[in-house]
Amino acid sequence: MRCKAPLGCDDVAIYRKMVLRCATEFMCIDCLAEYLGVSRQAIEERIRFYRETGSCALFR
């Protein structure tokens, strides 16, 4: 919603996971990282973590 970068399902899923579960508008990973005050790498690591553990239904 902040920039026009194309969003992958990972972007959508991590946004829902970390910000708002029922969100209908999303940020790309770069904007989300800035919004949360963390590094992009930290976001990517969380995506990988959720996917590998299968702990989150948003990551399939």
Q: Check residue 21 and report its DSSP letter.
A: T
Contact (CB, 8 A) for 15 and 36: no
Q: What is the contact surface with Zn ion in residues (CB under 5 A)? A: 3, 5, 28, 30-31
Shortest separation between residue 14's beta carbon and Zn ion, angstroms: 13
| Cα separation, 47 vs 58, whole angstroms | 10
Q: Which is nearer to Zn ion, 1 or 55 (CB)?
A: 1
Q: Which is nearer to Zn ion, 3 or 57 (CB)?
A: 3
Structure-token pair, residue 14: 């991590």
Shortest separation between residue 58's beta carbon and Zn ion, angstroms: 19
